[in-house]
């Protein structure tokens, strides 16, 4: 089937089922186009969930990974949340087991618990704060100004990045993203030599040695904006390659180069693709309305507990923006 055939079929299914697609920047270009062409939304995980809460539709179809579906359910408890593929997960999520993490927190009760959005609802339910990469630094700066000692989970690279900037007293969980961890410093330097007049955009889930080579370090939204305003023709991007669709859309005349994950002799010089994000396909979008079995279900207790640290982050972000506007 052509994209147009899928689009026409799925438009009908969305109307018939009172549903809307919310997609992450990292899913395949075709899925992002589908979300946009059907009146849905493409953004980061928190933006996806918040957008969903403002929609009248009773079903949200999440093109992303499991923790994104759970966050959507936490912020939209009265809506049905369906995943395109129930097996789509995240190494940061699976690498932070609830029971092991709870034991870790119980041994360090003098510390406030800060967890990245890329965690399960159960892990969020025992945290004090949830953060995204865009708000991590200002929030930790705020907590450090209050002399708070912290637990940070699960991404050790993002945690180290925040720690370097803020000087915070943080115990770091030993987790990592399997995509960002694979970027190779020597290979990136070679590409930078090949394109000396370039900008290098890096997600802070990457190792410190990669971050140190960046012109811009930031969240998916920040990297897209940095690519848009850059005056350089060549842009090297060190994050999941799905983001290139948005970058190319805003800057069609620029040349985007994927940062290398492999060295000489490899069959794939840049394999910056999340295997779980890649499980989201346009055929599965169509199929999910036939089965409707990929629903995210969370207990009322987990939703209630996990929503508190998310709300604290949202309220902090609103306060921060208000202060910035006034100053």
pLDDT value for 269: 45
- Of the two residues 170 and 51, the one the predictor is more confident about is 170
pLDDT for 284-319, tens place per residue?
A: 999 998 887 899 999 999 999 999 999 999 889 766
pLDDT at 325 over 70: no
Tell me which of 320 and 78 has the higher pLDDT.
78
Residue 45 pLDDT level (bands cut at 50, 70, 90)? confident
Considering the domain 92-177 in this protein, what is its CATH number? 3.40.50.10800
**Cα separations (Å) of 223 from 84, 104, 212, 215, 256?**
26, 33, 16, 10, 12
CATH number of 180-273: 3.40.50.10800
Closest CA to 223 of 198, 197, 196, 204: 204
- The CA radius of gyration of the chain, in Å to the nearest whole number, is 20
Question: What's the pLDDT score for residue 272?
Answer: 74
**Is the model's pLDDT at 20 over the cut of 60?**
yes
Contact 236, 198 (CB under 8 A): yes
Domain boundaries, the chain: 3-87+278-296, 92-177, 180-273
Query: What is the pLDDT confidence band of residue 321, given thresholds at 50, 70 and 90?
Result: low
**Average pLDDT rounded to a whole number, residues 184-193:** 93
Question: Is domain 3-87+278-296 in CATH 3.20.20.450, yes or no?
Answer: no
245 near 24, Cβ under 8 Å? Answer: no
Closest CA to 88 of 275, 241, 298, 271: 275
Please, which residues have CB within 8 angstroms of residue 225's CB and are 6 or more apart in sequence? none
| Confidence check: pLDDT of 72 > 90 | yes
pLDDT of residue 52: 86
pLDDT over 90 for what percent of the chain?
A: 85
Query: Order of strands across the sheet with 255-258?
Result: 216-217, 198-202, 234-238, 255-258
The residue written with tokens 């890329």 in the block is 118
Q: What is the distance between the alpha carbons of residues 3 and 276, in angstroms, rounded to a whole number?
A: 22
Cα–Cα nearest to 230, from 238, 222, 240: 222
Q: What is the pLDDT of residues 83-93, one digit of tens each?
A: 999 999 999 99
**Range in 218-227, 245-254, 264-273 the model is least confident about:** 264-273
Question: pLDDT-based confidence at 46, cuts 50/70/90?
Answer: confident
Q: What is the mean pLDDT of residues 128-153?
A: 96
Q: What is the reported pTM? A: 0.91
Least confident window among 49-53, 85-89, 273-277: 49-53
Residue 262: its pLDDT value, please?
66
Residue range 220-231: average pLDDT?
96
Average pLDDT of every residue of the chain: 92
Q: Do domains 3-87+278-296 and 180-273 have the same CATH topology?
A: yes
């Amino acid at each position: 089937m052509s994209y147009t055939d899928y689009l026409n079929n799925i438009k009908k299914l969305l109307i018939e089922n009172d549903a809307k697609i919310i997609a992450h920047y990292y899913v395949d270009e075709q899925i992002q186009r589908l979300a946009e062409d059907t009146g849905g939304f493409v953004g980061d995980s928190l933006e996806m969930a918040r957008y969903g809460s403002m929609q009248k539709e009773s079903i949200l179809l999440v093109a992303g990974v499991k923790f994104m579906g759970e966050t959507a359910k936490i912020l939209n408890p009265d809506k049905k949340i369906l995943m395109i593929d129930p097996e789509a997960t995240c190494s940061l999520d699976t690498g932070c087991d609830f029971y092991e993490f709870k034991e870790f927190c119980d041994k360090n009760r003098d510390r406030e618990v800060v967890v990245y959005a890329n965690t399960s609802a159960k892990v969020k339910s025992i945290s004090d704060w949830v953060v995204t990469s865009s708000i991590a630094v200002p929030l930790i700066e705020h907590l450090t100004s209050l002399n708070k000692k912290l637990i940070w989970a699960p991404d050790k690279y993002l945690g180290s990045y925040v720690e370097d900037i803020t000087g915070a007293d943080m115990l770091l969980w030993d987790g990592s993203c399997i995509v960002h961890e694979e970027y190779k410093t020597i290979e990136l330097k070679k590409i930078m030599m090949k394109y000396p007049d370039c900008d290098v955009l890096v997600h802070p889930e990457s190792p410190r040695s990669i971050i140190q080579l960046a012109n811009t370090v930031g969240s998916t939204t920040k990297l897209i904006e940095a690519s848009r305003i850059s005056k350089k023709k060549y842009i090297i991007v060190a994050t999941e390659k799905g983001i290139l669709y948005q970058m190319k859309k805003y800057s069609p005349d620029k040349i985007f180069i994927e940062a290398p994950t492999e060295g000489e002799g490899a069959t794939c010089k840049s394999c910056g693709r999340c295997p779980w994000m890649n499980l989201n396909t346009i055929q599965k979008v169509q199929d999910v309305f036939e089965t409707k079995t990929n629903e995210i279900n969370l207990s009322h207790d987990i939703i209630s507990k996990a929503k508190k640290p998310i709300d604290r982050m949202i309220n902090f972000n609103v306060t921060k923006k208000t202060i910035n506007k006034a100053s």
